[in-house]
Amino acid sequence: MIFSPNNKLEVHNLQVYLDQLTVLHHINLEVKNNEYVSLVGPSGCGKSTLFNVISGLIRPDQGNIIIDHTDVTGKTGLVGYMQQKDLLLPWFTIFDNIALPLKIRGLHDSIIKKKMEEELILFGLDGFQTKYPIELSGGMKQKAALLRTILCEKDILLLDEPFGKLDAITRKKMQDWMMKIKHHFQKTIFMITHDIDEAIFLSDRIIVMSSLPGAIIDSIMIDLPKPRDLSIQTSILFNEYKKRVMELL
C-alpha cells in the first residue's frame, strides 16, 4: 500500500490475536489530514480493538501505527478518544467535566472561563454549566463529552459510536448538528458506527470491515455535496451508497 504525504494517520500491516483467535488481520489504512472517515462492520469484528491499538491502549502483535509520519505504536496521549459511554463524572458539574482537559494542562482559571464561554455557546450548552450529568438529556451529555474530547486539543479524534445510545430522533438531530460544527475545529475524525445512514451523511469516506478475523474489504469515497442537510438522505446517490455498503456487509 502506498501512503501519500498528507496522511495524518496510517495503520501498517496490523495483526492482533486474542488467545488463539485472530481479531485483526493485516489491517492497512490511512486517514488524511482533516478527513472524516467512518468505520463500519459487523458487531464483534474488531473495530473498537483497532481504536484501542491506535490510541495506544493495546499493543498489536504485529504492525505499526504512524501519526504525522512518526511511528507511535503503543504510545498513549496522542489522540482524542471518545468511547461509547459519555464517561462524564457524576459528581462534577458540566462546566467542570468539560474543562477537565484544560485544568490538567494547568491553564489559568480566567483563560479556561473565556475559552469555555465560546465553546459552550457553539455546542448549545450555554446555561447548563452548573448542571450535573444526571440532569441532562442523552444528546446534551454526548455534546458535553464530545466537547471535552475536542478540548484535549489533539489533531486526531477517535469517536466510537458517539451517538449509538441515543433514540432515533435525537440521533438525527445530533448528526445534523455534527455536520454543522465539524469544520469549525479542523480535526481529523475517525468514527465507528453501525448506522450506515450516519456514516454516509457525515463522512468523506467509509471503510468497511469483514467479520472475524477483522479485515478491510473496501474503502468508499462519498462524493456528496457539502455542507449536507438531512434531506440528502432521500437522494438517489445517497441510497446508491447505502446499497453498496449493505451489500458488502
Query: In 3-state terms, what secondary structure has residue 196?
Result: helix
Q: Tens-digit pLDDT profile for the chain (249 aa)?
A: 455 678 999 999 999 998 888 999 999 999 999 999 999 999 888 899 999 999 999 999 999 999 998 999 999 989 999 887 778 899 999 999 998 888 888 888 888 888 888 888 888 888 888 999 999 888 888 889 988 888 888 899 999 998 887 888 888 888 888 888 887 888 899 999 999 999 999 999 999 999 988 899 999 999 998 888 888 999 999 999 999 999 998
Q: Which residue has the cell 469544520?
A: 183
DSSP 217-230: EEEEE----SS--G
Q: List CB contacts of 241: < 8 A, sequence separation 6 or more.
A: 200, 206, 220, 222, 224
Task: List the grid coordinates of 95.
Answer: 462546566
pLDDT of residue 249: 86
Which pTM value belongs to this model? Answer: 0.89
Taking 3-state DSSP, the helix, strand and coil percentages for the chain, each rounded to the nearest 5, stand at 35, 25, 40
Measured CA to CA, the distance from residue 16 to residue 4 in angstroms comes to: 25
The dihedral over CA atoms of 166, 177, 46, 44, expressed in degrees to the nearest 10, equals 30
**Are the C-beta atoms of residues 232 and 224 closer than 8 Å to each other?**
yes
- The full set of domains in the chain, from first to last, is 1-79+168-249 (3.40.50.300), 85-153 (no CATH)
Angle 209-191-134 from CA coordinates, rounded to 5°: 130
pLDDT of residue 1: 47
**Are the C-beta atoms of residues 182 and 176 closer than 8 Å to each other?**
no
pLDDT of residue 4: 66
CA proximity to 165, closest of 105, 65, 79, 82: 82
CA proximity to 194, closest of 50, 48, 81, 82: 48
